[in-house]
Chain A
Amino acid sequence: MMEWTTLLLLLSAATPILFAALGEAVAERSGVLNLGVEGMMITGALAGFAAAHATGSPMVGFVAGALAGAALSLIFAVLTQYLLTNQVATGLALTMFGLGLTAMFGKPYEGVKAPSMPGGPLGINWVIWLGLILVPVIWLVLNRTRPGLILRGVGENHEAAHALGYKVRGVRMAAIAIGGALAGIGGAYVSIATVLQWTEGMTAGAGWIALAIVVFAGWSPWGVLAGAWLFGGVTVLQLRLQAAGVAVPVQLLSMAPYLATIIVLVIISARHKYAGGGGTAPGSLGRPFHALR
């Protein structure tokens, strides 16, 4: 019984990071580096909470969170794809913008309670299920379908994709919006399902962890899932072990997620080295595209 509740906590803690990192992986596979994940998450957290509170339906909240995250990401998309601003600077600005905006509009929602989340199969709510289902779906779309191939092509070499007649900007706009929507759902999960209220700055750096996980995962959805479970899961696990009074040094427990990450990174990069390939980062990641012909 104890193991089952621990597993539930683990799944729940990993979910916000899983959504945000999946979205960022899609954006980065199209060649866009969006450092605004934290900003989009916190926007999703507020919009989702507000909508869930207004309608009494967590479902509506998650849809609103997705829309809000996507809307914010479109600001980034227009700035970087049409006005060719620097992606790193614009992404950082997006995070600050999101944090500031939500701090202002979130005031009326402080101390307000969220409607309760309905359970789902096996006591796991349906948003966790959705996250788990998205992993193979995104993998399939990216690796086994034509739109996925085009998206990856745009990310690997935007000049070549352009020469073949693909709309680089259009593809990237869509990828950024998907990234924003998923980050928004991740943020909404924090406010609606984990914390059950709105608090300014409540995502507390989850967006940055999601960004790190995308690299850790080698830009693969399955890697993202593993990363989210490691970061989110081991964090919960160590809280759980502490609560149970297990006599393991707390420092060791707190270190565990990071230690595990470093080890996995070393293994991944060693594998690539011996397989003869270079890094796995998309070839055009972070580079601005401007069609000259």
Chain B
Amino acid sequence: MNRRTLLASAAAAALVALLPALPAAAQTPIPEGEKLKVGFIYVGPVGDGGWSYQHDLGRQAIEAEYGDRIETTFIESVPEGADAERALTQLALSGCKLIFATSFGFMDAVINTAAKFPDVKFEHATGYKRADNVATYDARFYEGRAVMGTIAGRMTKSNKIGYIGSFPIPEVIQGINSSFLHARKVNPDVEMRVVWAYTWFDPAKEADAASALLAEGVDVILQHTDSTAPLAKLQEKGGIGFGQASDMAAFKPTPRVSSIIDNWAPYYVKRVGEVLDGTWKSHGVWLGIGDGEVQIGEITEAVPAEVKAEAEALRDQIGSGAYHPFTGPLNKQDGSAWLAEGQKATDEELSSMNFFVEGISAQIPS
């Protein structure tokens, strides 16, 4: 390190030390009679019956909670990437002071837009880049996946379970690993087939992916895409699946035998309240079953009572913190050691997870 960089880092360190003393973003309560405009961008249509639908329920919940004090607006079917920046800018320019960006791929667009609008607060779902006016929030979907994996392992007759992945990002890889580990735990013969759809929402392609898995002899399908198309395909051709993001109750009692429900409403209500009373701060939170953000939908009568009890027991253990879905001994796919006996995965490891665990034969596209 030469002197110039040393001086520069010293200056930077001094600046960082000063930061807490500076009045960060203007933290004043919104006065009565003045409306807070809250904006949302969704990656799919509100009517997808899954991911975006659940975020919109959260939006409706804040409207119900705060009534006249706020006004909400949303833009749906926003493509991930550069176009998201346009949508976010549009919301910021139209007077939104709090904006929820509800998909992983909006991450860079959020960071760029937030730099341009320092007085607007941003909340980015499932991302990891933060700033003074950008908070991130996420749900521990992998906790729910552990419960679904248990049911999948018990229910499969062909010992082949399928997984429709969207993009090979940590959030999805966690889900695949968690489902597989817990299916294997109750059924050592289970194999996992993975199909990457490279989309969050394309019902025709999701249905085709389900057909491809069924043709391969798979009889239980988990999905990490947003529409109900795979369930409709299962209904036509046989096999079972799970509600994803939303309860997808229309497919009860089978093919939908249970579901992972993303319950964003409490978090949205809390954060809007904090902006209203001027206490909002940037943070990164990751809430799970224990916090009520990840819920397990009703396990239907298509599942034998003892399997249902087993799944519910696992749910409760995860919820109480007694059990972590990624507890050693666990090896990575290539056989190298990852977690030692009793060791639990850290949040950092999970949020950058880019490998499959031992036993999965599919490869992660790199």
The answer on A and B forming one complex is: yes
Interface set of A (CB-CB < 8 Å, partner B): 2, 5-6, 9, 13, 16, 103, 106-107, 110-114, 116, 190, 194-197, 199-206, 235-236, 239-240, 242-245, 247, 249-251, 254
Least CB distance from A183 to B in Å reads: 15
A249: chain B residues at CB < 8 Å are: 363, 365
In the assembled complex, B119 has its CB within 8 A of some CB on chain A: no
User: Contact at A250–B365, with CB atoms within 8 Å?
Assistant: yes
B297 proximal to A (CB < 8 A): no
Partner of B45, one of A5, A6, A16, A200: A200
CB distance from B264 to the nearest CB of A (A): 20
Residue in contact with B209 in the complex, picked from A111, A203, A239, CB distance below 8 Å: A239
Contact with B215, one of A5, A112, A201, A245 (Cβ below 8 angstroms): A5
- Please, could you name 26 A-B residue pairs with CB atoms under 8 Å apart, sorted by A? A9-B212, A103-B45, A106-B47, A107-B47, A110-B49, A113-B232, A113-B250, A116-B236, A194-B203, A194-B207, A195-B204, A199-B228, A200-B47, A201-B47, A204-B204, A205-B202, A235-B205, A236-B208, A239-B195, A239-B209, A239-B212, A243-B195, A243-B218, A245-B361, A250-B363, A251-B365
Chain A hits for B211, CB < 8 A: 9
Q: CA–CA, A84 to B233, complex, Å?
A: 45
Whether B288 sits at the interface, judged by CB under 8 Å, is no
Residues on A with C-beta less than 8 A from B227 are 195, 199, 202
Q: Mark B201-227, 1 if CB is under 8 A from A, else 0.
A: 111110111011101101000000001
Interface centre among A111, A242, A249 (most CB of B within 10 A): A242
CB neighbours of B228 from chain A (8 A): 111, 197, 199
A31: min CB distance to chain B, Å: 31
Contact A197 B218 (CB under 8 A): no
CA distance A247 to B201 in the complex (A): 26
Q: Considering the complex, give the chain A residue whose CB is closest to the CB of B53.
A: A110
Q: How far, in angstroms, from A197 to B47 measured CA to CA in the complex? A: 12
B212 with A199: CB separation less than 8 A: no
- Max chain A CB contacts within 10 Å: which of B211, B213, B218? B211
Say whether A242 contacts B162, CB under 8 Å.
no
Near A by CB (< 8 A), chain B positions 226-249 give 227-229, 232-233, 235-236
- How long is the Cα–Cα vector from A99 to B226 in the complex, in angstroms? 18
* Chain B residue contacts of A6, Cβ below 8 A: 215
Number of interface residues of B (CB under 8 A): 41
| Interface residue? B302 (CB, 8 A) | no
Tell whether A9 pairs with B195 under 8 Å between CB atoms, given A196-B233, A201-B77, A250-B365: no
By a CB distance below 8 angstroms, the chain A residues around B10 are none
Contact of A254 with B198 at beta-carbon distance under 8 Å, contacts A110-B49, A190-B203 already known: yes
Chain B residues, Cβ within 8 Å of A2: 215
Determine if A196 and B212 form an interchain contact, defined as CB atoms under 8 angstroms apart.
no
B208 to A9, Cβ gap below 8 A? yes
By the criterion CB–CB under 8 Å, are A236 and B204 in contact?
A: no
- The one of A194, A204, A206 in contact with B201, judged by C-beta atoms closer than 8 angstroms, is A204
Cross-chain contact B202 with A199 (CB below 8 angstroms): no
Contacts of B207 in A (CB 8 A): 194-196
Q: How distant is the Cα of A7 from the Cα of B363 in the complex, in angstroms?
A: 25
B195 and A194 form a contact (CB under 8 A): no
| B48 close to A (CB within 8 Å) | yes
> Which residues of the partner chain B approach A195 to less than 8 Å between Cβ atoms?
203-204, 207, 227, 229, 232-233
